[in-house]
Every structure is written in C-alpha cells, then in structure tokens.
Chain A
C-alpha cells in the first residue's frame, strides 16, 4: 500500500494568484497522477507525472496553467497558475504501485480543497 499526504489541505486564494500543492508518498513510486474534482463532479485527470520525464497532460489541460514538478520518486508538486473562480476544486494526488495503470490498486491523497475568490 501507499500513504499519501498533501499540503495544503485547503486554501482560499485571490484570482490572478498561483498556488503550489505538494504531494508526498511514503514509498518510491514510478507513476503519480494529479486529478481535479469540481463541485458535484467526478474526478478528471489533469496529468501524469513520471519521475525523469516531462509530465503528460490530458486534453484541456496545459503546462502553462498547471506546471508540475517531479524531482524524485516520492514527491511531486502541482501549481495552479493565474487562478480564476473556475479553478475552485479539490485537487487530488494519486499513485499507482505498478508500472502501468491497471496493474494494481491506485491510491489517493486526502486532496487539497481550493476556493478562488
């Protein structure tokens, strides 16, 4: 199993500012994922962050808006840049212990609840 922590747990931000969310895992993992969950909606994958390579972004998400760092096998950050109220969501970090999605259980952090005014 994997235990994942995220910082901050919640924040209230002004539009136009940026917030960096940290994700720490208690074991080394290859695959890390960042999801967004907008109010009343299910999870949407933002990007996959594998150590040693550039993050892979899903359709509708771009690096300028959501830059990601993955400096080692236990840590990643997601920055939400130039925020607007539409960015108000829960942001979740997730890991897969296998080498590909579907091999094993995927684990999730507690999430960062973001409100943009």
Chain B
C-alpha cells in the first residue's frame, strides 16, 4: 500500500532555531514529492516540488531533500520565525496512481 507518514505530528521550537520536518513514503516509484503549508482553517499553499530525478529544491529559507531509495524527504526551515507556525503537509505522487497521497502533517509552533 502506498502511504505517506510524517513524524512528529507536532513540535514547538524557539524562534531562530532551524526546523527539520520528516516525511517517509512506502514506495520509491514516485513522480514527485510536494511540501505544502496549511494555516488554521485555510487551504494549502505549495512550498516546494521535487521531481523524482532531483535530490533537493530550495526557496529562500526553505530546503527540501529527497532520497527515493530510502523513501524519505526532509524539509529544512532555517532561522525559524513565529510566522512559520503552521501545519506542513507532505504529498507524494506515486506511479500508477493518478492522485496525491498526503501525510497527516507536522504541526509547528515557533515560540517568540
């Protein structure tokens, strides 16, 4: 079964620390992996998309890595700010499935 897991479900960090969020998936045959941000009661905002042929993507303070062989992706947020407080969702497009499979998310609180 093609599944996506995110651990921990929730974490709090003091402002200025680097955030490390983990996503694991059960099948290495993927098209791509996408990280989203969701604010309470809101829709999803795409942060980074990593194609299966790529190892990482960067956007500002955000860096996402992809290791298909081990079924893992990591989202790094440098020098966290209170505005980074949100839920971060990992989604994988698996081969043979014309849909995204989502993890349950990492709920992040950055403490001022």
List A residues at the B interface (Cβ < 8 Å): 4, 6, 33, 41-43, 45, 48, 58, 90, 92, 94, 100-111, 113
A45 and B100 alpha carbons, distance in the complex (Å): 8
Contact A108 B100, beta carbon cutoff 8 Å:
no
Since A48-B98, A106-B100, A108-B46 are in contact, a sample of 12 more A-B pairs with Cβ atoms closer than 8 Å, ordered by chain A residue number, is A4-B43, A41-B104, A43-B100, A45-B100, A92-B43, A92-B44, A101-B98, A103-B31, A105-B49, A106-B34, A110-B42, A111-B42
Contact B98 A42, beta carbon cutoff 8 Å:
no
Return chain A residues, CB-CB under 8 Å to B25.
none
Does B76 count as interface, using CB distance less than 8 angstroms?
Answer: no
Return chain B residues, CB-CB under 8 Å to A48.
98-99
List B residues at the A interface (Cβ < 8 Å): 30-32, 34, 36, 41-46, 49, 89, 91, 93, 97-100, 102-105
Partner of A106, one of B46, B103, B105: B46
Return chain A residues, CB-CB under 8 Å to B32.
102
Return chain A residues, CB-CB under 8 Å to B46.
105-108
Return chain A residues, CB-CB under 8 Å to B89.
42-43
With contacts defined as CB atoms under 8 Å apart, how many contacts are there between chain A and chain B in the complex?
A: 57
Return chain B residues, CB-CB under 8 Å to A113.
41
A94 and B84 alpha carbons, distance in the complex (Å): 23
Return chain A residues, CB-CB under 8 Å to B97.
101
Contact A101 B99, beta carbon cutoff 8 Å:
yes
A104 and B93 alpha carbons, distance in the complex (Å): 10
Contact B99 A108, beta carbon cutoff 8 Å:
no
Contact B31 A45, beta carbon cutoff 8 Å:
no
Which interface residue of B41, B89, B98, B99 has the most chain A CB atoms within 10 A?
Answer: B99
Which interface residue of B30, B46, B100, B105 has the most chain A CB atoms within 10 A?
Answer: B100
Return chain A residues, CB-CB under 8 Å to B102.
42-43
> Which 6 residue pairs across A and B have the least CB separation, nearest first?
A102-B31, A102-B93, A108-B44, A110-B43, A42-B104, A111-B43
Return chain A residues, CB-CB under 8 Å to B105.
42
A41 and B42 alpha carbons, distance in the complex (Å): 14
